[in-house]
A and B are shown apart, each in its own frame.
Chain A
Amino acid sequence: MAEFKKAESTLEWFDQRLGVTNLYKVMMSEYWIPKKINFLWAMGVILVMLFKILLISGIFLLMYYKPDVNLAFDSVNYTIMQEVGYGWLMRHIHAVGASVVFLIIYIHMFTGIYYGSYKKGREMIWISGMLLFVLFSAEGFSGYMLPWGQMSYWAAYVITEIFGGIPFIGDELVVWIRGNFYVSDATLTRFFMLHVLLIPLAILGAIAFHFYALRFPHVNNEDGEFFDFDEEAEKYLAGNKKESKVVPFWPVFLSKDFMVLGFFMIFFFYLVFYHYSFAMDAINFDKADGLKTPAHIYPEWYFLWSYEVLRGFFFDIAGISGKDLGLIAFAIANGIFLVFPWLDRSPLVKPANQRPYFKYWFWLLIADLIVLTIYGKLPPTGVNAWVGFFSSMTFLILFALLPVITKMEAKKVGGE
């Protein structure tokens, strides 16, 4: 056992045992972040905050929620919303938080794409981030079932049905996921387990992984500039704070994040109290009824773009059924972002507007995703079906073209 001399102060006492001074340096005061950043760099901290809010409000909801098809609806809409003190507040915060967290995830993700923060050493940051996106999607989907309203039931029905399209094992897989031949009590209880235990655990792990992945390649900056972090850190520590290209995580970086967070929270609570219906669909205030199909079934807004890619192929092409084509396109849409760093063949790490070809690609993608999202909710009839088809095709073509145009870009800027 190591020798301990008597500690002179409480800090030293803890330092001897836990190395808190070093920990503080590594995690806070000497964790270096580039100085040239804008408010988009605060999205990570906002996401951490939203995750905390979801976790805490979720814990409170868990105290009264009952995962049983006969009790779930009333435990949410009566017990929590009306009987328990501030239960309604917790539910509003949880529902709005779950929706807004995806808005911020998308902003965070497309910030990464815009500034090229996924390549040249930052691949693991990107992959861990996409892993979080997948986990949050699963968390959102499983949570949406819990209030056991009409849309809970039918969205779960439609989305679990998708797995039936997987060759050979599809039908068995659907039964395995649902725990029954249809969406039932067994489905509710297992989704409950996933929502409150397994997926949150995985998310906690993935968040730790995402943060860890940031430490070696470092956070990107507004210009995509590469520089020696150690050198810049030395400058900062020597007192040349203005000249140094970096700032410490605490207090400098976080002071800016807290400010952005503060303004964001005004918006968040405005939604929670006065504009929550986008996150709490009216149809979900009708109790689930397996015999009564709603006129319009749609997932939550953050799944609409990929749902529309699934629906976009509504006719057979070359002997392959529209359903299968949709499923293939849907699988591509959900997997393609994961390999983004390898589809971009250009060595440039620059904001998109400084990249000769990528800038068009980027804004086309954004436009296409918005069209997909909007048409993903509208009934897929008449001209809407065709808009869905062409925007789904556009999505696939854009990704097929990405390696080509970035290769061309690499050639064009090669001499620079």
Chain B
Amino acid sequence: MKEMRILATIVALVLVTYYGIEPYAHHIMHPEPKAADYSFSDLKNVKKVKGNAASGKALVEANCVACHSIESAGFAKMMPDADAAASYGVVPPDLSTAGKIYETNYLANFIYDPVTASHLSHKYSAESGKTHPMPSYNWMSSQEIMDIVAYLQQVAATVKVEVDDEATIEEQLKAQHRATFIDACGRCHSMAYAGWSALTPSDTLKAHMGAAAPDLSQYIKSRGEHYLHSFINDPQQLLHGTSMPRVGLTEEAQEDVITYMEEIGDSKKADRESLGWKVILYMLVFALLALAWKKEIWKDVH
């Protein structure tokens, strides 16, 4: 039928154009990022060393709590966040969940040498004159470092996200996502649409890292889930020279973070997807009725 041929021609032309300006152009402008590597395989593998949490506890008390709080284990903050940021350049993280959100091998390597593990050697170099707020513990043995990791993992296992007793499963999950986001990202990044302000004041961070950390409210839309997965896993790969460290999140923690970004940045996704097919169905009924009516009307004139 002639009309079908016309339609097919138009559809073909539109699809060629669409392919060129969307998938093809994006492919050219944004090359496919490397898939996230949650084993951080560029780092030395020390996982075979089995840590001892009890000796780890002693090491943590001797080495870590001077700067880090571990509130779930009773080590309170030493000073208000703004003061901590001013002293160190960035607020040191509370370690309550460190053993859970950071991948084991990464965490061990980070303690051993933070700059190398976080891929920030371009920021903390002899030329820049800056040093990482966290000193390297490269004088410790692998065993000692793994003891610390084991202790932190033991602490993290006891941490529960606080929610109302009446919270639904959905609300509990959301609280979990938020908690992970705050621990993993919230020291530097704000999430204005969720009312979260970064613990480190923006100016302090900018002075220390050379760039302010962006607000992440709309990052799920501006960057997309696919990009974020690769980016958070290894920022340098996609944005060479960025001040953003590789933070070494486990796949699970990263999933929490990105889900949270979507819950805040694209909060109507569920509404959209559940309403969409109903509207389309309505239009389908309309189209079929209109088709029947057209046939009825045109049978007199053909």
- The residues in A between 282 and 301 inclusive whose CB is less than 8 angstroms from any CB of B are 282-286, 295-296, 301
Contact B279 A81 (CB under 8 A): no
Closest to A283 in B: B222
Tell me what chain A mostly uses at the interface: helix, strand, loop, or mixed. Answer: helix
In the complex, 20 of the A-B residue pairs with CB atoms within 8 angstroms, ordered by the A residue number, are A35-B301, A38-B2, A78-B217, A82-B267, A88-B272, A92-B272, A251-B297, A252-B298, A255-B297, A262-B283, A262-B287, A269-B283, A272-B276, A273-B275, A273-B277, A370-B13, A373-B20, A373-B21, A374-B20, A378-B29
Contact A295 B17 (CB under 8 A): no
Contact A255 B283 (CB under 8 A): no
- The residues in A between 240 and 281 inclusive whose CB is less than 8 angstroms from any CB of B are 241-242, 244, 247, 251-252, 255-256, 258-259, 261-263, 265-266, 269-270, 272-274, 278
Q: Which of B3-11, B43-51, B172-180, B182-190 faces chain A?
A: B3-11
With a cutoff of 8 Å between Cβ atoms, the chain A residues found around residue B160 in the complex are none
Extra pairs beyond A265-B286, A374-B24 (15, CB < 8 Å): A39-B6, A241-B300, A255-B296, A262-B291, A273-B276, A273-B279, A282-B221, A282-B224, A286-B218, A286-B222, A296-B29, A301-B17, A370-B16, A377-B25, A378-B25
Mask, A288-321, CB within 8 Å of B = 1, is 0000000110000100100000000000000000
10 smallest beta-carbon distances between A and B, as pairs: A262-B287, A273-B276, A374-B20, A285-B222, A285-B221, A259-B290, A255-B297, A262-B290, A285-B218, A259-B294
Alpha-carbon gap, A93 to B283, bound state (A): 15
Alpha-carbon gap, A89 to B269, bound state (A): 11
Contact A274 B294 (CB under 8 A): no
Contact B280 A78 (CB under 8 A): no
Tell me what chain B mostly uses at the interface: helix, strand, loop, or mixed. Answer: helix
Alpha-carbon gap, A117 to B302, bound state (A): 24
Nearest Cβ in chain B — how far from A326, in angstroms?
20
Q: Does chain B have a CB within 8 A of A170? A: no
Mask, A348-385, CB within 8 Å of B = 1, is 00000000000000000010001001100111000000
Contact A252 B297 (CB under 8 A): yes
Q: Does chain A have a CB within 8 A of B293? A: yes
Q: Does chain A have a CB within 8 A of B165? A: no
- Interface residue tally for chain B (C-beta within 8 Å): 53
Alpha-carbon gap, A82 to B218, bound state (A): 11
Closest to B25 in A: A377
Q: Does chain A have a CB within 8 A of B78? A: no
Contact A366 B13 (CB under 8 A): yes
Q: Does chain A have a CB within 8 A of B28? A: yes
Contact B301 A252 (CB under 8 A): yes
Q: Does chain B have a CB within 8 A of A184? A: no
Q: Does chain A have a CB within 8 A of B166? A: no
With a cutoff of 8 Å between Cβ atoms, the chain B residues found around residue A103 in the complex are 14
| Residue of A74, A269, A373 ringed by the most chain B CB atoms within 10 A | A269
Alpha-carbon gap, A270 to B20, bound state (A): 21
Alpha-carbon gap, A284 to B286, bound state (A): 35
Alpha-carbon gap, A282 to B22, bound state (A): 12
Nearest Cβ in chain A — how far from B88, in angstroms?
27
Mask, A71-96, CB within 8 Å of B = 1, is 00010011001100000110010000
With a cutoff of 8 Å between Cβ atoms, the chain A residues found around residue B301 in the complex are 35, 241-242, 244, 247, 252
